[in-house]
Structure 1
Amino acid sequence: MRHTISALVQNKPGVLAAMAHVFERHDINIRSISCGETEREDVSRMIICVEAGDEKVGDVTREIESLGFVLGLEDLSDRDLMDRELVMIKVRITPASVSQILQIFEVFRANVIDMGNETISAELAAPQGKVAGLIRTLAPHGIQSLSRTGLIALSRGDG
């Protein structure tokens, strides 16, 4: 099962490595991990996405909660959440393909951020499924490079 774990942690050196090490010890592969400051510069939010059984993830989350630098932890997997991923993608262009690629960007609401003689680059912040759809649609045109942030998420509502 896919789990999206949100952890509030102290913003200090070594925290990211220590968190990743806990997952490694439990033999759980991290599919994506994003970390950045929150509204408080001394606190960061980590969003860790993994594919693992509920029991295994429960063991890991209990261990993580006991770490001194963890201020709060929540498994968002069963919650209504808002999630986004940012992708920057560079695609090969030819005079014949430019208009078709621009139409693809328009359909996905991706923003063009650079254009050269042989490539065009765009960015998209969207749910992971939409990001994956853009990548699949552009693949036949020749993706030269891409970079994805990994998922970021917050639970919906007032809580």
Structure 2
Amino acid sequence: MTQTISALTKNSPGVLADMAQAIRKYNVNIRSISAGETEDPTISRLTIGLDGSEDDIQRITEEMADMDVIISMDDLRRKEFVDRELVLVKVAMESACTTQIMQIFEVFRANVVGMGQRSITVEMSGDRERVDGLIKMLAPFGIKSLCRSGMIALKRGDD
């Protein structure tokens, strides 16, 4: 079961390593992790997608909440949230398939960011399902390279 945690932390060295160590203790897989500064450069937001049991995730969040570097944590499992992921995909391109590939880009609102003699690179952002859908549609044409940012997420509403 994938569960999402969002944490505001002090922007200092070792925070990510300390959090990863807490997760490792419970043998839980990190499916996705994204970190970056917030509007305040002294604070970072980490969004972590974890695959594990509810009990293990609960223990992990309790342990993390006690860390000095943690300002606040949200367990986004039970709350409505908006999430996005960025993907860059380089696809093999033969002239016979160009129209089909471009139609896929259009349907998924993917933007062309690079073009070579035999490949085309696009970017797209969306939720996990949308990113997975783009990848599935492009796979038959030959994905040469792919990079996903990992999920970022915020609670919906005024909280």
**1:1-159 to 2 correspondence within 5 Å?**
1-159=1-159
Aligned length: 159
Give deviations 1:59-97, integer Å, cap 9, x for gaps: 110100011100001110111110000000000001111
Shift of 1:99: 1.2
Q: Distance in 1 between matches of 2:29 and 2:2?
A: 11
Q: Distance in 2 between matches of 1:95 and 1:61?
A: 51
Shift of 1:44: 0.2
Shift of 1:25: 1.0
Q: Secondary structure at the match of 2:96?
A: coil
Give the ranges of 4+ consecutive aligned residues of structure 1 lying more than 6 Å apart after TM superposition.
Answer: none
Q: Distance in 1 between matches of 2:128 and 2:29?
A: 18
When normalised by structure 1's length, the TM-score is 0.98
Q: Secondary structure at the match of 2:95?
A: coil
C-alpha RMSD of matched pairs (Å): 0.6
Q: Distance in 2 between matches of 1:52 and 1:29?
A: 7
Shift of 1:154: 0.2
> Which blocks of at least 5 consecutive residues in structure 1 are unaligned?
none
Q: Secondary structure at the match of 1:78?
A: coil
Q: Distance in 2 between matches of 1:54 and 1:74?
A: 15
**Residue 12 of structure 1 aligns to which amino acid in structure 2?**
S
When normalised by structure 2's length, the TM-score is 0.98
Q: Secondary structure at the match of 1:97?
A: helix
**Residue 133 of structure 2 aligns to which amino acid in structure 1?**
G
Q: Secondary structure at the match of 1:77?
A: coil
Percent identity between the aligned chains? 47
Q: Distance in 2 between matches of 1:156 and 1:123?
A: 25
Shift of 1:26: 1.2
Shift of 1:2: 1.7
Q: Distance in 2 between matches of 1:85 and 1:46?
A: 14
Shift of 1:55: 1.1
Q: Distance in 1 between matches of 2:136 and 2:108?
A: 12
